Amino acid sequence: MQRRQGRMQRVPIRLGSLRTSVTASSATAALSVHGDEQLVANASLARVCRVCTTREARYTCPRCNAPYCSAACYGAHGQRCTEQFFESHVRSEMQMTADHGGDGERGDRQQQRSMNALLERVRQFQDEQQRQTETEGDDDDALAARMQQLAVLDASGELTMETLTSEERKRFLAEVADGRLGKLVALWSPWWLLSERKYCNETSARRREVILEEISSSSEATGEVETPPTTLEPAVAFPVGLFTTREAKAMPESLATLLPNGKPPSPKLRFHLVELLFAYALVLRTFNGDYAQDVADAALLLLARSRVLSADARYESLEHACLVCLEAQTPEDVAANRLALQDAQRLLESRVFLLDALSDMQMLVTQYQHELPGHKKQRKQASKQLAAVLKKLQFFQTWAFLTSSETFRTLAAELAALARPQESS
């Protein structure tokens, strides 16, 4: 859509039918979002006219089953079918005349009347075809003018989702959802595939900027104010939420204050973390690295795929967590789930990646909390549920910060070892 400095802006492309295969759990049923879900879900059922390839095919040729949108396209889709169409009508009329006509002059007159009636129907069909062609010509002119207008907006860098009409936005999202626009969109490369050193160098400047902004705002405040996770612009290749040294200094010295009776954290938290990172990676890949284009859908996908967040799931082993992550509803899900599990392994290998991923998850849920649809009562209930989700994420981030990096690297190695036999199967 919008271009910045000559580069194509990334859009939230859904990979195949991945997005349509997600079903929200009962815990997230209250967090419904109004929008283009039904259109996108049904996008794979839409047919395109085989002749003009630009309009929806509302009809099907009874002879060759070719989908077409209008009489003009029917006439152009195949000479053999149209000739057979008229030929069949001629034969049926002639047969009817032979069956019901008589001998001699009376039969001839009746046959002539039948032929005249047939020719009149053919002329009517041709006239209707011509009228539709002219109407479609006007539509084409209007479409060309609109495309020119959008091209001007694109060249000036002002073309966004908001500049599209409601119908254009629905069509765009539908074509993204069923993969038709995939070849036109620059695919996003996950930031966790960079080396840790390069990633830290790329994000260090923005981290320092936000720390200075936080210090400046804190000096003007009369009391202690909780600061949201650090943010980068959504269009860049890095997470929206970042974990800063200022946030690190605000961390408690131990988890004793967060756990009842000062109990040590459960060793099974490691398995829950794997599912969290899996769901996060799946969201980022589904939305081509930019969930800001559709915060509501991205947040709902995160909650649908992380039962730890939405349903307080408990996993007894790493195998158990992986089996749940790899559950597939469509053949396309299999590859996507395995890739997201590999991403979770990569995120575990770096302390910086891990903490930034957890900050980014908090940012996503917080943004959705601010954009909740529905009536006041519904928003209040959904906001309360999301506040509980944010508490879980904050707890996981505190635990991850206070846990040694070696623990997570070991977990990453276990995850890699577990994934190898599954990949070969």
Structural domain includes residue 39: no
Same domain, 224 and 167: no
pTM of the model: 0.58
pLDDT at 256 over 50: yes
Same domain, 225 and 334: yes
Same domain, 153 and 246: no
Q: How sure is the predictor about 395, in pLDDT bands with cuts at 50, 70 and 90?
A: very high
Same domain, 145 and 218: no
pLDDT single digits (tens) 46-70 = 467 777 777 777 777 766 767 777 7
Higher confidence at residue 120 or residue 305? Answer: 305
Rounded to whole angstroms, the Cα distance separating 51 from 70 reads 10
How confident is the model at residue 376, as a pLDDT? 84
How confident is the model at residue 29, as a pLDDT? 36
DSSP state of 78: -
Domain count for the chain, please give it: 2
Higher confidence at residue 217 or residue 336? Answer: 336
Same domain, 165 and 248: no
pLDDT at 213 over 60: no
How confident is the model at residue 119, as a pLDDT? 63
3-state secondary structure of 76: helix
Structural domain includes residue 32: no
How confident is the model at residue 26, as a pLDDT? 37
Structural domain includes residue 361: yes
How confident is the model at residue 137, as a pLDDT? 57
Same domain, 228 and 370: yes
Residue range 269-275: mean pLDDT, rounded: 97
pLDDT single digits (tens) 359-386 = 999 999 999 999 888 788 888 999 999 9
Same domain, 213 and 355: yes
Structural domain includes residue 3: no
Residue range 325-333: mean pLDDT, rounded: 81
pLDDT single digits (tens) 149-207 = 777 777 777 777 677 787 777 677 666 555 556 555 667 889 999 999 999 888 887 77
- Domain housing 76: 47-177
How confident is the model at residue 153, as a pLDDT? 73
Structural domain includes residue 1: no
Phi/psi at 36 (5° precision): -105, 25
pLDDT single digits (tens) 80-110 = 665 555 555 555 555 555 555 555 566 667 6
User: Of 130, 150, 177, which residue sits at a domain end?
Assistant: 177
pLDDT at 338 over 80: yes
Q: Which helix (H) or strand (E) holds 141?
A: helix 104-155
Alpha-carbon dihedral sign for residues 192, 198, 200, 203: negative
Beta bridge partners of 230: 242
How confident is the model at residue 222, as a pLDDT? 47
Same domain, 131 and 274: no
pLDDT at 229 over 70: no
Structural domain includes residue 346: yes
Residue range 350-365: mean pLDDT, rounded: 96
Structure tokens that stand for 79 in this block: 């000479």
How confident is the model at residue 7, as a pLDDT? 40
- Which residue in 335, 294, 342 sits closest to 190, CA to CA? 342
User: Of 177, 205, 222, which residue sits at a domain end?
Assistant: 177
Structural domain includes residue 131: yes
Same domain, 225 and 173: no
pLDDT single digits (tens) 3-40 = 444 444 444 444 433 333 333 333 333 333 334 333 33
Average pLDDT of the chain to the nearest whole number: 74
Structural domain includes residue 241: yes
How confident is the model at residue 340, as a pLDDT? 95
Same domain, 65 and 210: no
Residue range 254-266: mean pLDDT, rounded: 80
Rounded to whole angstroms, the Cα distance separating 378 from 288 reads 30
Same domain, 169 and 275: no
